[in-house]
Amino acid sequence: MTETYSVALTAEANAVLKAHLLRADGQEDLCFAVWHPSSGASRMTALIEGLILPEAGERSVHGNVSFNPVYLERALSEANRAGGGLALLHSHPDGRGWQSMSRDDINAEQGNAPACFGATSLPLVGMTLAGDGAWSARFWQRVAPRQYERKDCLSVRVIGDTLAISFYDKLAPKPVFSKAQVRTIASWGERRHADLARLRIGVVGAGSVGGMVAEALARTGFERVSAIDFDHIEEHNLDRLVYASKADVGLLKADVLASRLQGSATANDFRCDPVIAAVYEDAGFRAALDCDLIFSCVDRPWGRHVLNLIAYAHLIPVFDGGIAVRSKPSGDLLRADWRAHTCVPGRACMACLGQYSTGLVQTEREGMLDDPSYIEGLPRDHALKARENVFAFSMSCASFQVMQMLNYVLKPLGLPGPGQQIYHFVGSFMEPTAAASCDADCPFTDIIAKGDHCGYDVLGKRPGT
């Protein structure tokens, strides 16, 4: 059931729209765009995918701005051809922050909502760009024949090297800060912290790294976290699960983690939602699509494959990491490496970085990775056969991933966050890495902002269930 609405677009699309809509002469302007749905468990997001800029004679700029019927007809035709919905975007050059709607704005959008729904079977999405670059947005939902109701969006997100986000304060009120957050807020200021705290964060995988990431989020002051994991706590997990004790053996990881975070959280209105599912199951996948940012704390190919798709097709940044520990036959430590990186359009995806093998995704879907005979037949040094890890290594990897996220959201000094970071414990050095982009034939670059319409079927039933 849809409870909230949002819009997301790439930084590349945002730059083109700002150049067009924020005119040098200070007048309002408009354009259309194609959007695709991203359907979460409780949130519908419109992903702006294709811009339809006006051609000569298609709109009239006269202080205010209006479009001609031929422009709407062309835009509807292009939206139909792309299999998406239509968005109408216009500017308020003198505005600052989230914008209210004038009577003319409402008439223009509500009056054309029936034609858009009739042509595309999707609601018209309206967007307003303020002079300071802040977006506001709404859906025009059909509630009865010839009756369309405005559903204001909670936020609009611009996804690029850094995150830009506009919140509708009426639906996402600025938090009232607690005394426990004084030193955190002093580090980056109340305005940044208000935006940070209102982000909904998904932690996929409640193991050693995921548990520490979630602990950091709760103590930093985030208000809403989703812990997505189907596994139970076992005794051999206790050396690395920061939130678990012997009494928790046999309980679900996500449930125990959510309960423990209530005692760690510094936000006045904190909530952690445990989602008992794999991210490749429908419940886990839809819960992930409700999030603004996601931490990938999984170590198998199918889960990473799904999260890779979410990062590019659904425009939800994913902060991924991993640990590789190898020992000699004698038992002595040979190597221990961990890495972290941010997956967003314009940066290399997990597959291109070698974080998982696409060939093993189907192997896992067929249940082979849960077959002891298959695992036994793999080479001794195969990543899927690794069992080594210790608390300190997980702690450092979790820290790297959290730092990736903070750099991405806070953008200190306006700088983009780091690229891929790789640390080698043996030798104690950080490997220098250049900025990486996807391979020329990477399929994920072809589905950016396609959302539910990306054409990939990545979901399935958990092996053994």
CA distance 41 to 150: 20
Residue among 56, 53, 64 nearest 88 (CA): 53
Does 75 fall in a domain? Answer: yes
Question: Are 284 and 432 within one domain?
Answer: yes
Write down the pLDDT at residue 91: 97
Please write the tens of the pLDDT for every residue from 3-21. Answer: 999 999 999 999 999 999 9
Question: Are 330 and 305 within one domain?
Answer: yes
Question: Are 115 and 213 within one domain?
Answer: no
Q: Which stretches within 156-251 are classed as H helix?
A: 182-188, 190-198, 208-220
CA distances from 117 to 87, 155, 171 (A): 11, 23, 25
Long-range contacts of 371-374 (CB under 8 A, 24+ apart): none
Amino acid, single-letter form, for residue 393:
F
Q: How confident is the model at residue 417 (pLDDT cuts 50, 70, 90)?
A: confident
CA distance 183 to 177: 11
Question: Are 25 and 149 within one domain?
Answer: yes
Question: Are 226 and 355 within one domain?
Answer: yes
pLDDT at 374 over 70: no
CA distances from 272 to 234, 282, 298, 307, 440 (A): 22, 19, 19, 20, 39
Please provide the distance, in angstroms rounded to a whole number, between the alpha carbons at the two ends of the chain. 26
Please write the tens of the pLDDT for every residue from 39-81. Answer: 999 999 999 999 999 999 999 998 889 999 999 999 999 999 9
Please write the tens of the pLDDT for every residue from 286-327. Answer: 999 999 999 999 999 999 999 999 999 999 999 999 999 988
Among 141, 166, 191, where does a domain finish? 166
Write down the pLDDT at residue 264: 96
Range of the domain at 23: 4-166
Task: Please give the average per-residue pLDDT across 389-402, as a whole number.
Answer: 95
Question: Are 123 and 184 within one domain?
Answer: no
Instruction: Output the DSSP codes for 265-277.
Output: --STT-EEEEE-S
Does 464 fall in a domain? Answer: no
Question: Are 325 and 359 within one domain?
Answer: yes
CB atoms within 10 A of CB 219: 16
Question: Are 412 and 315 within one domain?
Answer: yes
Phi, psi of 387 (to 5 degrees): -125, -5
- CATH code of the domain covering residue 402: 3.40.50.720
Domain count, the chain: 2
pLDDT at 173 over 90: yes
Write down the pLDDT at residue 329: 84
Please write the tens of the pLDDT for every residue from 338-364. Answer: 999 999 999 999 999 999 999 899 999
Among 166, 197, 212, where does a domain finish? 166
| Number of residues in the chain | 465
Phi, psi of 37 (to 5 degrees): -80, 145
Q: Give every CB contact of residue 267 below 8 A, 6+ residues apart in sequence.
A: 175, 178, 181, 197, 218, 221, 222, 223
Does 149 fall in a domain? Answer: yes
CA distance 289 to 38: 7
Task: Please give the average per-residue pLDDT across 248-268, as a whole number.
Answer: 97
Question: Are 203 and 132 within one domain?
Answer: no
Q: What is the mean pLDDT of the chain?
A: 94
- Dmax over CA atoms of the chain, in Å, equals 80
Instruction: Output the DSSP codes for 408-435.
Output: HHH-GGGPPPP--EEEETTTTEEEP---
Among 116, 135, 166, where does a domain finish? 166
pTM for the full model?
0.96
Strands (E), 17-105: 30-39, 43-52, 59-62, 64-67, 85-92
Question: Are 159 and 274 within one domain?
Answer: no
pLDDT at 153 over 90: yes
Question: Are 319 and 204 within one domain?
Answer: yes
Question: Are 310 and 196 within one domain?
Answer: yes
Does 460 fall in a domain? Answer: no
Cβ contact 410:192 at 8 Å: yes
Which region among 8-22, 139-153, 323-337 has the lowest average model confidence (pLDDT)? Answer: 323-337
CA distance 322 to 245: 24
Does 250 fall in a domain? Answer: yes
Does 378 fall in a domain? Answer: yes
Does 328 fall in a domain? Answer: yes
- CATH code of the domain covering residue 134: 3.40.140.10
Partners of 147 in the β-ladder: 144
Instruction: Output the DSSP codes for 95-140.
Output: --SSPP--HHHHHHHHHHHHHHHHHHSS-EEEEEEETTS-EEEEEE
CA distances from 128 to 7, 187, 209 (A): 12, 32, 40
Does 216 fall in a domain? Answer: yes
